[in-house]
Structure 1
Amino acid sequence: MIKQLNEKARTIITTDGEVDDMNSFLRYLLYSNEFDTEGIILTSSVYHYAGDDEKGIKPERWTGEKWIPYLISEYGKVYDHLKVHGEGYPTPEYLQSIYHVGNISFKGEYEQETDGSRFLENYLLEDTDERPLYIQTWGGTNTTARALRSIEEKYGHSPEWSTIKKRIEEKVVIYIILDQDDTYSEYIAKKWHIKVINDKFNFWYFAYLWKYTNYNLTRKLNHDWQKNWLIILVHSWQTML
Structure 2
Amino acid sequence: MTMMLVALFVGAFIFVEYNIAYPSLVTFRDAAPFNRIRFGGLAIILVLLPLMLTGSTGSLHDLLMAVGRLLAGGLDFPYSPVRLMVLMMPQDAPPALLESVRVTAAVAYLVSLAMLVVFVIHQRLSGWPLNRGGFNVWVNLPTFDPTAGGDVVDRLSRDAVIHLVAGFLLPFVIPALVKLVSTLFDPLNLAEPHTLIWMTTLWAIGPASLLMKGLALNRVAQMIRVQRLRGAARAAEAEGELAAA
Would you say same fold, with TM above 0.5? Answer: no
Q: Which structure features the higher share of helix residues?
A: 2
TM-score by length of 1: 0.25
Question: Which structure has the larger Rg?
Answer: 2
Q: Which structure features the higher share of strand residues?
A: 1
RCO greater where, 1 or 2, for CA within 8 Å and sep 6 or more?
2
TM-score by length of 2: 0.24
